[in-house]
Amino acid sequence: MYPQYGGSFCRVIDNYDPRAEDLIDDLKGEGNHPELTIGISVDMLDTGIDIPEIVNLVFAKPVYSYIKFWQMIGRGTRLCPNLFGPGLDKKKFLIFDHWGNFEYFDEHYTEAEPNGSGKSIQQVLFEERIRLAEAAIAAQDHQTFALACDLLLQDVRDLPDTAIAVRDKWREVKTVQQDGVIQRFDAATKSMLQTTIAPLMQWRNITGHLPAYECDVNCCRLQTAVVKQSARLADLRDDLVGCVAQLPINLNPVREKIAVIQRVKSGSFWEAPTVPAIEEVRRELRGIMKYRTRPTGPAPLPPKVLDVVEEEADVYRTQYRPRFAGLELIEYRSRVQALLTGLIDATPPLQKIRAGQPVTAEELDKFTALVLAQEPDLDLTDLLEYYPETAGNLAVAIRSIIGLDAETVNARFTAFAHQYTLNSTQLRFLDLLKNHIRDFGAIELDQLYETPFTALDKDGLDGVFPDEHQAEELVAIVESFSAGSPTKIAT
């Protein structure tokens, strides 16, 4: 729909694409195609992806897992200094929730209000040139009016005829592109330029030329101020001189324009500025504005240190039990996962849980005490509260964190795979199923009718395995990983 952005601007990223990891690097701006700006994915970008520049999240599917819901939100919470310019840090991000996931989880949110200020630089420039033409007519300045009309006509003729929005207004565009139409500049023409043509300017491709268009806008406003003899002239003059002063004269392209640069910085140029003189400056300097050395943000203030003396007699101590929700719960899970993963090799109870073998209550009590000794504020029994789907089974709750051994998972499906002649789609379904159980220790039956399984067939399990006997046998295998079996607590 938007050919001006190129084919690498928006890409689908899923685990069926062998270049998925490369595409993620591109989305981060670290790959061979840093222009990738929009990533469309299923179950690939909700966890483990750190892209601080993300400011828009689109929930294009219903989410039934509270953990996954907050993992997805976590993609937008990364801090990003100077994202919108020097000193303009990322402070918020937008979520487009098409499926009411916030209502489903009864989560409070602040609804965004459209501010209507998101005009492209191309539209801003076009509207400034319309104002220049209006000012020229009011001042009876025929030379400036002709210049403004020529620039407006060039802008209209530069509209891409392949853009969907432009083609929708093709009759109006072709009308304005005709010689003499803009010069007529009657009420109907001005209305068409302002309401129909100006918004289409956003579809002009100015990739790599933003500084040039910023210069165009500044110069056009200067020209309008000259025609109107406006008090804004001094401020606009200072803006242009400030931009010119940031051009590094050690670069050859800049050095070639040194005469024009010196003229703009001289006081004599601004004693009686004219529209043609400013237009000449614009044409000469717009191409080198990309070399400007923009100022960096102010140096951060050192952290404030408070040296407070604590009175031991006034200290009140109580046992702290964490109560997490949202992103805090994600961080808590990551912390528990890192700790347990580091203990697997030296802890027999964890090895049994990961292998799908039963453990005793005594073994779990000793292991919980071991964790408390290392992390006094980390009580593994809290997992039963945060993961109620484990039905009060601490071993299963731990298994949902550390996953299952791959050989253990494969062994459960080996007989099934050997018993039937499975097609490629069914084998792919089994691979997805085993990978999920390996990572999370179990799977709910409802998930077999959601993505990524519905990517193979819209009916999920029933569509991939139409044979009712095969489906029932596969369900039995899935249920063997549930909270009650085979990892039972022996007492």
> Residue 94's domain is classified under what CATH number?
3.40.50.300
Whether 320 maps to a domain, the answer reads no
360 with 277, same domain: the answer is no
For residues 383, 67, 15, 429, the Cα torsion angle rounded to the nearest 10 degrees is 70
If one counts every other C-beta atom within 10 angstroms of the C-beta of residue 145, the result is 21
184 with 290, same domain: the answer is no
C-alpha Rg value of the chain to the nearest Å: 32
Whether 292 maps to a domain, the answer reads yes
DSSP state of 448: G
Token pair, residue 295, equals 């100022």
Indicate the residue among 48, 77, 104 that finishes a domain: 104
- The overall average pLDDT reported for the chain is 83
* Neighbour-count burial of 409, counting CB atoms closer than 10 A to its CB (0-12 exposed, 13-18 middle, 19+ buried): buried
Q: Give the Cα-Cα-Cα angle 489, 390, 408 (nearest 5 degrees).
A: 65
201 with 213, same domain: the answer is no
274 with 199, same domain: the answer is no
CA distance 440 to 445: 14
CA distance 300 to 251: 31
Whether 405 maps to a domain, the answer reads yes
405-409 contact pairs (CB < 8 A, 24+)? 405/354, 405/355, 405/356, 405/438, 406/434, 406/438, 408/354, 408/355, 408/356, 409/434, 409/437, 409/438
pLDDT at 487: 38
In order of 156, 196, 204, the CA distances from 123 in angstroms are 11, 11, 10
10 with 96, same domain: the answer is yes
CA distance 60 to 474: 29
CA distance 85 to 285: 22
Q: How does pLDDT run across 28-85, given as a tens digit for each residue?
A: 888 888 888 898 887 777 666 788 889 999 998 888 888 788 888 888 888 888 888 8
148 with 65, same domain: the answer is no
pLDDT at 298: 61
Token pair, residue 154, equals 């060039």
355 with 476, same domain: the answer is yes
178 with 244, same domain: the answer is no
Indicate the residue among 147, 172, 205 that finishes a domain: 205
30 with 152, same domain: the answer is no
195 with 212, same domain: the answer is no
219 with 246, same domain: the answer is yes
Indicate the residue among 187, 205, 223 that finishes a domain: 205
351 with 481, same domain: the answer is yes
pLDDT at 142: 95
- Note down the domain range covering 391: 346-491
pLDDT tens, per residue, the chain with 491 residues: 666 677 788 888 887 778 888 888 888 888 888 888 898 887 777 666 788 889 999 998 888 888 788 888 888 888 888 888 888 899 889 999 998 889 888 888 888 876 655 788 999 999 999 999 999 999 999 999 999 999 999 999 999 988 888 999 999 999 999 999 999 999 999 999 999 999 999 988 888 889 999 999 999 999 999 999 988 899 999 999 999 999 999 999 999 999 999 999 998 999 999 999 999 999 999 999 999 987 665 656 677 777 777 777 776 665 544 455 556 666 767 777 777 777 777 788 778 877 777 778 788 788 788 777 777 767 777 666 666 555 567 777 777 777 777 787 888 888 888 888 888 888 888 888 888 887 777 787 888 888 778 888 888 888 999 988 888 888 888 887 764 444 333 32
CA distance 437 to 360: 23
pLDDT at 1: 64
pLDDT at 138: 94
For the chain, what is the domain count?
4
Whether 59 maps to a domain, the answer reads yes
Whether 336 maps to a domain, the answer reads no
